[in-house]
Amino acid sequence: MLYSRYFIPTVKETPSDAEVISHQLMLRAGMIRKLASGIYNYLPLGLRSIRKFENIVREEMDKAGAIEMLMPTVQPAELWQESGRWAFYGKELLRFKDRKEAEFCLGPTHEEVITDMVRREIKSYRQMPINFYQIQGKFRDEIRPRFGLMRGREFIMKDAYSFDVDSAAADFSYEKMYNAYMRIFDRCGLNFRAVEADTGSIGGSFSHEFMVLADSGEDAIVSCDSCRYAANVEKAESPLFTASSDTISEPLQKVSTPEMKTIVDVAAFLDVESAKTIKTLVYASDTGELVMALLRGDHELNELKLKNHLGWGEILMATEEQIFSCTGSPIGFLGPIGLKMDIPVIADQVVQGMMHVVLGANEKDQHFINASVGRDFEVTRFVDIRTVTAGDACPRCESGKLEMWRGIEVGHVFKLGTKYSKALNATYLDPNGKEQIIFMGCYGIGIGRTVAAAIEQNHDENGIIFPIPIAPFHCSVVAVNTKDSGVMAAAEEIYLKLESVGIEVLFDDRDERPGVKFKDNDLIGIPLRIVVGSKGLAEGKVELNIRSSGEVLSVVVDDVVTMVKQLVDAALVHNM
RNA sequence: CGGUGAGUAGCGCAGCCUGGUAGCGCACCUGCCUUGGGAGCAGGGGGUCGCUGGUUCGAUUCCAGUCUCACCGACCA
């Protein structure tokens, strides 16, 4: 490819609305341009990287036995009504009507469409297992699109759906996809973790997220330093608690704590550790149900865990009025003793066995000391509702401690079970001629998001440092002085030779000063760069720059093509 | 949807408080010059100052409304 004939509109200045580094660099490198909030044009260079990654995904999907197809973006409302998600999905589902007033939506995901196809076409146990995938544009009307391709409203996704005769077979399909995902992200050279995750609005019985580690990641994850346990913090379990053996001796006592509204204030004021206090929170469901949650003072609530325990559709911090109605107290002095209303009291498992602790007295400026569970107040249920922190003991092994990371979710695999097949009545006949429900799994990879995540993980002050497997070009050839015919001829020869051995090369033949070319080449992240200048040529040499290491090699002209070919082939090898 | 901030040339910004010919850097066009890390000189083009209304002789500037965008929370590949 001739740079002068191609289209790479780089910019020097960072656009003011780009916050994270990958967004800034993709904009500056001329890979993407914004059309509307969360909606982007993929410019030629950006598309090349996207396609590179798609092909890796495609190869691994095919290898894992999945079959490619393509479903439409526009989907009829009826299917969504049938699965129940038309009402459930909310505003993220972009809905509209056609000229006949029939309702449609833009597909945010394709469980309904694929299940509809399968229910019509798969009739026998002999046709399974089967797994369909597509690489296609999705639309989700996100509340807050941000970070460029990281969270767009329209985005490219690989989604796969597996269909099996029973739960055990579905587990096997799940594992195949899990392994394919491991290979995919490995091949891109990404530093990532597969973590246990909540199933969210897709539903189903269990799931793993694939997280690229990056400080700018929107998710917090933990992993054990000695076993393989890793989970999204939303999901991460606290280790089982063993009850303390303190005996109850001191009587409950009310004390004045003027203006001490936070645990930190109260603990300091009464001179106790915050671990010897109980934090009381009140939550409300969207239908107005209330619940009280108790945690050890130095712990944080995991709202998702509480929500899942309660089986609520939504969980909200209770309003001051709601809190007053059930406790009779202003915020800051809440506790489980002397409630005005009979509401469930859910306590974290660690609260079990907490003796002689400090907690709110449901009265302005008053707390209790020496409060003890069981003697002074009752708890409806003890469950794990706290957020784990770095250094916690691992819930799965004896000796491990949890480490905490930030991650970008680039892939997610779900075991769906029969959620959609039941709703849409997707059944098959087993060997006995008996009708059975199909078991499903679904598996997604954010294509643009992965490319963005790769940039997030691979860049320096000069720009992107693409891993070779997803770089838009493997190599560039920079002619230092385009007016020098000897330089141009030598550069062109190298360029053509590289192309002939299958290297994707960008020939920077622009009539620009060398500095401009070097800056642009660095910015757009070309992994290898050959610089052809008159000084080097006089000795029969050119320069080979390796973007990732910063190495600069002086290479004999005749050897450079072979060297580049070797470097590229080595990076593309995947012996799995 | 709630909280914060911003809309002035393709990009990054100043001007507005105190109303009176709309500016700077980069980019772009022409010429000269230059060629190993975003050169230099000279000349040039490009704006209904987000939109609507009000106040005023006169509004980018003051007032009201409205739209859009970005950032912080819930959603998610």
Q: Convert the pLDDT of each residue in A127-186 to its tens digit.
A: 999 999 999 999 998 878 888 899 889 999 999 999 999 999 999 999 999 999 999 999
- Do A341 and A410 fall within a single domain? no
Contacts of residue A118, defined as CB under 8 A and 6 or more positions apart, other chains included, come to A130, A132, A161, A163, A426, A438
Closest by CA position to A309, among listed A280, A340, A345, A352: A345
Secondary structure E strands in A259-390: 278-285, 290-296, 315-317, 345-348, 357-360, 366-371, 381-383
- Do A422 and A497 fall within a single domain? no
Nearest nt to the CA of A36 via C1' is: B69
CA distances from A8 to A2, A61, A462, A523 (A): 11, 31, 16, 11
Closest by CA position to A257, among listed A358, A188, A342: A358
- Adjacent-strand bridge partners of A78: none
- The region that residue A131 occupies, defined by phi over 0 for left and psi between -120 and 50 for alpha, beta otherwise, is beta
Please report the sign of the dihedral spanned by the C-alpha atoms of residue A373, residue A377, residue A381, residue A383.
negative
* Whole-angstrom distance, CA of residue A173 vs CA of residue A487: 56
Nearest nt to the CA of A518 via C1' is: B37
Task: For A231, list phi and psi in degrees, rounded to 5.
Answer: -155, 155
- Do A308 and A206 fall within a single domain? no
CB-CB neighbours of A381 under 10 Å? 12
Residue A245 lies in a domain: no
Name the amino acid, one letter, at A464.
I
* Whole-angstrom distance, CA of residue A398 vs CA of residue A432: 47
Nucleotides of strand B under 7 angstroms from a protein beta carbon: 1-2, 11-13, 25-27, 34-39, 68-77
Question: Distance (Å) from CA A519 to C1' B29?
Answer: 24
- Asked if A122 and A128 touch (Cβ cutoff 8 Å), the reply is yes
- Do A33 and A159 fall within a single domain? yes
Closest by CA position to A450, among listed A468, A472, A470: A470
Question: Distance (Å) from CA A399 to C1' B35?
Answer: 63
Please list the pLDDT of chain A residue by residue as tens digits (576 residues): 999 999 999 999 888 888 889 999 999 999 998 888 888 999 999 999 999 999 999 999 999 999 999 999 999 999 999 999 898 887 888 888 899 999 999 999 999 999 999 999 999 999 999 999 999 999 998 878 888 899 889 999 999 999 999 999 999 999 999 999 999 999 999 999 999 998 766 666 789 999 999 988 888 999 999 999 999 998 898 887 665 656 777 899 999 998 888 888 888 899 888 888 999 988 888 778 889 999 998 888 888 888 888 888 778 888 888 888 888 888 888 899 988 888 999 999 888 888 889 999 998 899 999 998 888 999 999 999 988 988 889 999 989 999 999 999 999 999 999 999 999 999 999 999 999 999 999 999 999 999 999 999 999 999 999 999 999 999 999 999 999 999 999 999 999 999 999 999 999 999 999 999 999 999 999 999 999 999 999 999 999 999 999 999 999 999 999 999 999 999 998 755
- Do A294 and A345 fall within a single domain? yes
Residue A396 lies in a domain: no
Question: Distance (Å) from CA A19 to C1' B19?
Answer: 36
Contacts of residue A220, defined as CB under 8 A and 6 or more positions apart, other chains included, come to A232, A233, A404, A405, A406, A407
Residue A8 lies in a domain: no
- The region that residue A197 occupies, defined by phi over 0 for left and psi between -120 and 50 for alpha, beta otherwise, is beta
Question: Distance (Å) from CA A201 to C1' B55?
Answer: 53
State which residues form the domain around A509: 473-572
Write out pLDDT tens, residues A357-405: 999 999 889 999 999 888 899 999 999 998 898 888 999 998 999 999 9
CA distance between the termini of chain A = 32
- Do A65 and A202 fall within a single domain? yes
Last residue of a domain, one of A349, A383, A417: A383
Residue A390 lies in a domain: no
Domain CATH number, residue A275: 3.90.960.10
- Do A52 and A100 fall within a single domain? yes
- Do A97 and A220 fall within a single domain? yes
Contacts of residue A110, defined as CB under 8 A and 6 or more positions apart, other chains included, come to A71, A75, A134, A136, A159, A161
Considering only CA atoms, name the residue closest to the C1' of nucleotide B13: A16
Nearest nt to the CA of A535 via C1' is: B36
Name the amino acid, one letter, at A509.
D
Cβ-in-10-Å burial (0-12, 13-18, 19+) of A408 comes to: buried
- Do A298 and A418 fall within a single domain? no
- Do A230 and A257 fall within a single domain? no
Residue A1 lies in a domain: no
Nearest nt to the CA of A478 via C1' is: B36
Domain CATH number, residue A488: 3.40.50.800
Task: For A280, list phi and psi in degrees, rounded to 5.
Answer: -115, 125
Cis link prior to A129 (omega < 30° from 0)? yes
